[in-house]
Amino acid sequence: MPEVLDWRRIADSYAVIQYAVQALRRGRTIAFPTETGYALTASGLVPEAVQQLGAATANGAQDPLTLTVRDAAEARDWAPAMSPLAQRLARRLWPGPVTLLVGGTEQGLANRLSDDVRTRLCPDGSLRLATPDHEALREVLRHLPGPLLLASLPGDNGTAAANAEQVLRLAGERVDMVLDDGPRPSAQPATILAVNGEDWQVVQPGVVSAEQIRQQMACLIVFICTGNTCRSPLAEALCKKRLADHLDCTIEELPARGFYVLSAGLSATLGGPAAAEAENVVRTYGGDLSAHRSQPLTPDLAARADYLLGMTHGHLQALTDYFAHLGVQPRLLDPAGDIADPIGCDRPVYEACGRHIWDRLESLVAEIARKEEG
């Protein structure tokens, strides 16, 4: 008889996570709640458990399994040849109800698995990767040594099992434990998105639409300073101007052309205006900072960024220490040295800071436009 644990009434969630981890290591299968229903999981290091997992899929052994990963960075360990587009979508759409179908697994960690497990996981050389957004499953991923494989339990009308009762009815003896978190909110399956280089295709429609995916494909450039009132707002506004000129469009048209430019601060308060002197300098270049409001850099923003640029070596060190694991490798706007903070100085110092930033942006914008356009 499968063991059912009610996640909603658990007093010590850490103890339950450790219990689940040990159960998976012993080869037990566990049904976890996700955004789109309940999914059956097993450790990829236990071939017998993986075989049991595969038997629960809609078409048995014919259905490939999904590999759950902590984040986009871990996904690259399994598919080192993931294209820049696949990596961008992973950063933007995870955790969430999107499974990425990618190639480039030849040099990845899947080659270390047993032949039987590898055949079930990537039968044609491609790999399904996902990061479901449920606390219990994500915590298990943090503590489980080795890969966690997932199979959707086919329920009514082609959707996944929506509650623990359906899991018990559908999986029968194939499930050893159910972590019950009540009925799941979505009646739609997870979206499966195949990404091959810069080409993509929705192979299974689901919660996230093709239009929502398309919106996540834009290039995001984020400039970082300390308080997000002087240097990084200057860089944001001047980069928009440089980029618009390069693309022969207006600043307002940049999102439609696939570019977003933002700024944030490592020690910024929320909602402060740009320094008046910075506003004046930007205006001379044809930009506008009147609507700027400061914001702190968050892990979510850092993870979504395609370019994360600091003003000083101190900023770069902080970005590398705390945010580099979330997404792209941070870098300096000026590799040759720091961009000095003009705060508290008179207009000539702000003008010199603006010129410094403007000059450095020329090569950066050319680099970004070349990569994104071609």
Render 40-80 in DSSP notation, one character per residue. EEEETT-HHHHHHHHTTSTTGGGSPPEEE-SSHHHHHHH-T
Q: Is the separation of the CB atoms in 36 and 137 below 8 Å? A: no
In a domain, 87, yes or no: yes
pLDDT band at 60 (very low <50, low <70, confident <90, very high): low
Q: Residue 360 to residues 151, 356, 365: CA-CA distances in angstroms?
A: 49, 6, 9
Catalytic residues: 225, 231, 341
146 and 99 part of one domain: yes
Give yes or no for a contact between 105 and 76, defined as CB atoms under 8 angstroms apart. no
Average pLDDT of the chain? 92
Q: How many domains does the chain have?
A: 2
Q: What are the DSSP calls for 337-350, one per residue?
A: S-----TT--HHHH
- 309 contacts 334 by C-beta, under 8 angstroms: no
CA distance 156 to 162: 9
Burial of 359 (0-12, 13-18, 19+ CB in 10 A): exposed
Tokens found for residue 264: 């944030």
pLDDT band at 219 (very low <50, low <70, confident <90, very high): very high
* Residue finishing a domain among 207, 227, 257: 207
Q: What are phi and psi of 123, to 5 degrees?
A: -65, -30
Q: Is the pLDDT of residue 103 over 80?
A: yes
Residue 163 resides in a domain: yes
- Together in a domain, 239 and 328: yes
Domain boundary among 207, 237, 269: 207
With b for 16 or more beta-carbon neighbours within 10 A and e for fewer, the 324-333 pattern comes to eebbbebebb
Say what the alpha-carbon torsion angle 137, 142, 147, 149 is, to the nearest 10 degrees: 0
pLDDT digits (tens, 9 = 90+) for 220-251: 999 999 999 999 999 999 999 999 999 999 99
Neighbour-count burial of 86, counting CB atoms closer than 10 A to its CB (0-12 exposed, 13-18 middle, 19+ buried): buried
Note whether residue 213 is domain-resident.
Answer: no
Q: Which of 262, 251, 253, 260 is nearest to 215 (CA)?
A: 260
Looking at the domain assignment, is residue 212 inside a domain?
no
Judge contact between 272 and 294, C-beta under 8 A: yes
Task: Name the residue range of residue 43's domain.
Answer: 3-207
Task: With CA atoms as reference, report the closest residue to 58 among 190, 195, 155, 177.
Answer: 155
91 within some domain: yes
Residues 71, 170 share a domain:
yes
Residues 255 and 286 in one domain: yes
- The band of 7, judged by pLDDT with boundaries at 50, 70 and 90, is very high
Helices (H) and strands (E) in the chain, counts: 13, 14
Could you tell me if residue 66 is inside a domain?
Answer: yes
CA separation for the pair 293, 216 (Å, rounded) = 23
Cα–Cα dist 343/231, whole Å: 9
* Average pLDDT, integer, range 33-48: 94
Say if residue 358 is in the same domain as residue 273: yes
Domain end point (choices 154, 173, 207): 207
Q: Is the pLDDT of residue 310 over 90?
A: yes
User: Do both 188 and 233 map to the same domain?
Assistant: no
Residues of the chain above pLDDT 70, percent: 97
Looking at the fold, whether 200 and 267 belong to one and the same domain comes out as no
**Nearest residue to 52 via CA among 173, 220, 136, 177:** 173
| Between 74 and 60, the higher pLDDT residue | 74
**What is residue 62's predicted lDDT score, i.e. its pLDDT?**
60
In this prediction, residue 319 has a pLDDT band, given cuts at 50, 70 and 90, of very high
Is 223 found in the same domain as 203?
Answer: no
Summarize the confidence of residues 52-78 as an average pLDDT: 82
Q: How much is the pLDDT for 195?
A: 96
Residue 214 placed within a domain? no
Least confident interval from 82-91, 179-188, 328-337, 349-358? 179-188
State the Cα–Cα distance between residues 256 and 215, nearest whole angstrom: 10
Provide, rounded to the nearest whole percent, the portion of the chain with pLDDT above 90: 80
The residue ranking higher by pLDDT, 125 or 78, is: 78
The residue that leads in pLDDT, 91 or 57, is 91
Which of 101-110, 260-269, 363-372 has the weakest average pLDDT?
101-110
Per-residue pLDDT at 156 exceeds 90: no
- Rounded Cα distance between 156 and 229, Å, is 54
- 198 and 281: one domain? no
The residues, ordered by sequence, that sit 6+ positions from 281 with a Cβ below 8 Å of its Cβ are: 234, 347, 350, 351, 353, 354
Residue 59 predicted with pLDDT over 80: no
Query: Mind listing the pLDDT tens digit for each residue in 173-213?
Result: 889 999 999 998 876 889 999 999 989 999 999 999 999 99
Quick one: tokens of 1?
A: 């008889």
Q: Give me the CATH number covering residue 228.
A: 3.40.50.2300
Q: Is the pLDDT of residue 58 over 70?
A: no
Compute the average pLDDT of residues 356-363.
97
Q: CATH number of the domain that 9 lies in?
A: 3.90.870.10
Evaluate if residue 85 carries a pLDDT over 80.
yes
pLDDT, average across residues 273-298: 96
**What is the reported pTM?**
0.82
Instruction: Answer yes or no: is 74 within a domain.
Output: yes
Is 200 in the same domain as 228?
Answer: no
- Residues 224 and 198 reside in one and the same domain: no
Residues 256 and 308 in one domain: yes
pLDDT at residue 135 greater than cutoff 70: yes
